[in-house]
Structure 1
Amino acid sequence: MSLKNTPQHWGSVSKTLHWLIALLILALGIVGLLMGELPKTPKYFWVYTAHKSLGITVLALVALRLGWRLYAGAPQPVPGTPGWQERIASATHGLLYVLMFAIPLSGWLYDSASGLRPFKLFGLVEMPKLVAPDERAAQLSHALHEWGFWLLILAVLAHAGAAFYHHVHQGDATLSRMLPRGWLAAPQKESA
């Protein structure tokens, strides 16, 4: 398998970044939904720091992924894909990238504006504050962080749903070319 993308397939770097980011976002979402219910013990602060650290990691990986995509290109749409589906896919991918940048940045901004002491990325590197403490900025960034997450959930469901639709109903390789080789054979279209 090629590291770089080809006109027909995503390369191993793109696939690895895609699935690693997806798993990290899933973990961040679960932790984010549950951490408000935790008792204020030392473990509580560890969970918050881990959430923030993983969020910054996602931000860095998404920047790397976007840079790689600009360098390595993207496969052509599967032959026979209608133009309207290509446009919706492009818009959905654009929205996913915007949200994958906006959610960690709004979380970092919220942490900064809240006036909390700086957190250390995985307990190692102190993260700089993006802004001085500001209650209005904290409220706005928290709202962006929370509502952006729910919008991301909807966009991911649309993204995954479209991939399954292509696989099951259109019988094309849209889904299989993003999965590791051999996980799912591309369905064979029936000939008339």
Structure 2
Amino acid sequence: MTLKNTTDRWGGVSQFLHWLIMLLILILAVVGLSLDSLPKSPKYFWVYDLHKSTGLAVLALVVLRLGWRLYAGSPAPVAGTPTWQARIAGLTHWALYALILAIPLSGWLYDSASGLRPLKWFGLFTVPKLSAPNEGLRDLAHEAHEWLFWVLVALVAVHVAAAFYHHIFQRDDTLTRMLPRRRKASPTSR
């Protein structure tokens, strides 16, 4: 497998970042949706800090992924894909990137404007605040954080549905080119 993207497949770096970010977002979603049900104990604050640190890690990873995509390019649309579908796919990808950037930024702004104790990223270093404490900005950032998450959920559902539509009904390589290639069995291993 090549690390760089080719004209027909996503390379190893893009695949790794895609699936890692997806896994981290799934974990963030589960934790984020359960935060309100946790009792306000020391464990709550540990989980909350872990949620914030992981969100900032996703922010860094998506910046890395965007940089890699600009460097390595992206595969051309699968042969036979109508132009309108290719445009919608391109717009969807960029909207996903924008949301995956905006959600952690809104969470960081929410944390900053809340005036809470400083966040230590995974306990390693203190994350700078984006603003001074501000109740109005805090509320706006919190609302944005939640609404952007639900928009992301909807867009990811469309993204996944489109990938499976192409895989099951179109029988093309749209889905498989984001998956590692299967190794062909050697004649001696049969």
Task: Verify same fold: TM over 0.5.
Answer: yes
Q: How far apart in 1 are the matches of 2:100 and 2:32? A: 15
Aligned to 2:168: 168
Superposition TM-score, scaled by structure 2 size: 0.95
List gaps (5 residues or longer) in structure 2: 184-190
Number of residue equivalences: 183
Give the corresponding residue for 1:69.
69
In structure 1, the gaps of 5 or more residues are 184-192
For 1:48, the equivalent position in structure 2 comes to: 48
Normalised by the length of structure 1, the TM-score is: 0.94
How much does 1:112 deviate?
0.2
Q: RMSD of the alignment, in Å? A: 0.8
Query: What code does the residue aligned with 2:164 have?
Result: F
Corresponding position of 2:108: 108
**Partner amino acid, structure 2, of 1:52:** K
Instruction: State percent identity of aligned pairs.
Output: 65
Q: 2:187 maps to what in 1?
A: none
Q: Which residue of 1 aligns with 2:10?
A: 10
2: CA distance, partners of 1:97 / 1:8: 21
- Alpha-carbon distance between aligned partners in 1 of 2:181 and 2:14, rounded to the nearest angstrom: 13
Q: What is the 5 A alignment of 1:141-156?
A: 141-156=141-156
* 1:23 aligned onto 2:23: yes
Bigger helix share: 2
Higher relative CO (Cα under 8 Å, sequence separation at least 6) belongs to 2
Alpha-carbon distance between aligned partners in 2 of 1:107 and 1:125, rounded to the nearest angstrom: 18
CA displacement, residues 12-63 of structure 1 (integer Å, 9 cap, x when unaligned): 0000000000000000000000011101111000000000000000000000
